[in-house]
């Protein structure tokens, strides 16, 4: 940020905050009363999703662009966790941008939404500069402790998802700082679980950015997850399967995106990519069937405070055109909108200044593990990946369609659900 005037210009996005709060509150009241804000009008849904994106982004990106994030962002965490201020800021930045990147990549245009995208993309670029400049008071921790590997990867994922807006538009100086920050995460070991894919994702980004990649770190995550496939579209989180949402939070999205980058290098990776895409489609079918009409879903496993982020698998499949044939884009929109509303509208979800608080249906600090803090919570943004589809896409333009849950329990005669045969 070169001048105060530059920041003031960029932070015009903050003026959206009051309007966003009012609009979101009005829609929430309409939903509770069965009124016009309920899911059904495609344009209403997209407007609502962009309001949620603005609500999540405004405090964090405005503070970071002004180089005041560490002064202004609260740090809520488990009482026994004393180290989260070392990590929470990079967590928030990487996770927020991982979800908003496809939307920002659509670029600015003359529409109200297009102008909003342009403002947030500019704030994000200023924030990336602030977070990777060693002279900045908001210089983020990419190398101390183990946690930074996780969120270096989420930031890398954001840059891979929005190469035009979040990478190529950065000044060369900032690009060099980003590369140096990512490289500094390399000494952090990746555990025998989904963490392997964090190292993989950092290396995929570095390769795309023109830096020399570390093949051992890149391919270990891919090979391990090839071996950890357990069947019917699901991977183990390490050698064992865990009933939680880590296939959605991390495994399937990062694995598919890594294979996109290396599939043409060897026949084995091309074939694994084909299988991984088929598995993502199956996983999306499972996820869509897991969402009740009121947006509730099974509260299983750890990291449940990531809220709607539990459905990144379905969101990614919708964004990339990989939904199963029995799930229309409009069905996926209805299901995801219900989850977003249910997990982000409960009283107490945001504090008085607009920052997320720990919980799933409001403020529930008991649902936060020792590694959860304020920044962690912004992984909820990955449910918004389909905002990367233009408003003319059937995901947004098609009339609302009943979800599988609604159809079956209303007595509609549907084909049976079947597992896929997809060997390692």
Sign of CA dihedral 385, 371, 298, 31: negative
Helix (H, G, I), strand (E, B), or coil: what is residue 235? strand
**Residue 356, helix vs strand vs coil:** strand
Q: Are 93 and 62 contacting, i.e. CB atoms less than 8 angstroms apart?
A: no
SS3 of residue 229 by DSSP? strand
Instruction: Quote the CA–CA distance of 168 and 170 in Å, as a whole number.
Output: 5
**Residue 311, CB-side half-sphere exposure with 13 Å CA sphere:** 34
> What is d(CA 67, CA 281) in angstroms, rounded to the nearest whole number?
41
Of residues 58, 216, 69, 193, the one with CA closest to residue 141: 69
Q: What are phi and psi of 137, to 5 degrees?
A: -65, -15
The pair of structure tokens assigned to 180 is: 């140096």
Can you give the pLDDT at residue 422?
75
CA distance 187 to 420: 39
DSSP 8-state class, residue 189: P
Helix, strand or coil, per DSSP, at residue 231: strand
- CATH class in words for 4-409: mainly alpha
List the structure tokens of 85.
Answer: 């201020």
CA distance linking residue 98 with residue 319, whole number of Å: 13
CA distance 236 to 246: 9
Per-residue model confidence (pLDDT) at position 42: 61
For 141-244, strand residue ranges (E) read 229-231, 234-235
Burial 294-314 (b: 16+ CB within 10 A, else e): ebebeeeebbbbbbbbbbbbb
> pLDDT (tens digit, 0 to 9) for every residue of the chain, 424 residues total?
443 444 444 444 343 333 334 334 433 433 332 332 345 466 799 999 999 999 999 999 999 999 999 999 999 999 999 899 999 999 999 999 999 999 999 999 999 999 999 999 999 999 999 999 999 999 999 999 999 999 999 999 999 999 999 999 999 999 999 999 999 999 999 999 999 999 999 999 999 999 999 999 999 999 999 999 999 999 999 999 999 999 999 999 999 999 999 999 999 999 999 999 999 999 999 999 999 999 999 999 999 999 999 999 999 999 999 999 999 999 999 999 999 999 999 999 999 999 999 999 999 999 999 999 999 999 999 999 999 999 999 999 999 999 999 999 999 999 999 999 877 7
Q: ∠367-373-375 over CA atoms, to 5°?
A: 125
Full DSSP string of 265-291: G-HHHHHHHHHHHHHHHHHHHHHHHT-
CB 132 within 8 A of CB 118: no
- Cα angle for residues 232, 236, 242 (degrees, 5° grid): 100
Residue 43's Cβ-side half-sphere holds a number of Cα atoms within 13 Å equal to 1
Alpha-carbon gap, residue 305 to 293, rounded angstroms:
20
The DSSP secondary structure of 362-380, one letter per residue, reads: S--GGG--TT-BGGGGGGG
Instruction: Please tell me the distance from the alpha carbon of residue 379 to that of residue 158, in angstroms, as a whole number.
Output: 12
Q: What local confidence, expressed as pLDDT, does residue 62 receive?
A: 98
> CA-to-CA distance for 212 and 234, rounded, in angstroms?
32
Our measurement of the distance from residue 27's CA atom to the centroid of its chain's CA atoms, rounded to an integer in Å, reads 23
Torsion of CA 221, 222, 223, 229, to 10 degrees: 100
Classify 91 as helix, strand or coil: helix
CA 272 from chain center: how many Å? 24
How far apart are the C-alpha atoms of 100 and 57, rounded to whole Å? 9
Let me know: does 73 contact 355? Beta carbons within 8 Å: yes
């Amino acid at each position: 940020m070169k001048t105060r005037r530059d920041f003031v210009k960029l932070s015009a996005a903050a003026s959206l905050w009051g309007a966003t709060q009012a609009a979101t509150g009005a829609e929430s009241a309409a939903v509770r009363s069965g009124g016009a804000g309920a899911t059904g009008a495609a344009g209403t849904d997209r407007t609502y999703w962009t309001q949620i994106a603005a609500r999540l982004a405004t405090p964090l990106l405005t503070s970071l662009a002004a180089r005041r994030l560490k002064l202004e962002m609260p740090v809520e965490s488990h009482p026994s966790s004393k180290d989260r201020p070392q990590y929470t800021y990079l967590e928030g930045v990487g996770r927020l941008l991982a979800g908003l990147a496809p939307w920002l990549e659509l670029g600015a245009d003359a529409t109200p939404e297009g102008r909003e995208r342009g403002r947030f993309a500019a704030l994000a670029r200023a924030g990336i500069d602030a977070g990777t400049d060693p002279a900045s008071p908001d210089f983020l921790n990419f190398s101390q402790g183990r946690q930074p590997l996780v969120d270096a990867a989420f930031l890398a994922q954001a840059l891979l998802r929005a190469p035009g807006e979040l990478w190529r538009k950065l000044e060369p100086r900032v690009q060099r700082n980003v590369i140096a920050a990512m490289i500094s995460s390399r000494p952090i070991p990746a555990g025998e679980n989904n963490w392997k894919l964090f190292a993989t994702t950092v290396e995929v980004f570095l390769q795309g950015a023109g830096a020399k990649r570390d093949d051992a770190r890149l391919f270990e995550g891919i090979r391990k997850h090839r071996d950890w496939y357990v069947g019917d579209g699901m991977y183990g989180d390490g050698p064992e399967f865990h009933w939680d949402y880590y296939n959605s939070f991390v495994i399937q999205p990062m694995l598919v995106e890594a294979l996109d980058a290396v599939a043409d290098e060897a026949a084995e990776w091309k074939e694994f990519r084909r299988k991984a895409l088929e598995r993502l489609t199956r996983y999306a079918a499972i996820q869509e069937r897991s969402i009740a009409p009121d947006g509730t879903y099974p509260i299983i496993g750890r990291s449940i405070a990531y809220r709607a982020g539990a459905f990144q698998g379905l969101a990614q499949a919708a964004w990339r055109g990989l939904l199963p044939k029995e799930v229309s884009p409009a069905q996926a929109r209805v299901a995801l909108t219900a989850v977003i509303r249910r997990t982000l509208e409960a009283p107490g979800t945001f504090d008085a200044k607009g920052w997320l608080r720990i919980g799933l249906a409001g403020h529930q600090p008991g649902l936060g593990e020792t590694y959860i803090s304020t920044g962690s919570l912004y992984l909820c943004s990955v449910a918004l990946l389909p905002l990367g589809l233009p408003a003319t896409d059937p995901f947004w333009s098609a009339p609302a369609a009943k979800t599988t849950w609604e159809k079956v329990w209303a007595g509609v005669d549907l084909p049976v659900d079947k597992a896929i045969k997809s060997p390692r």
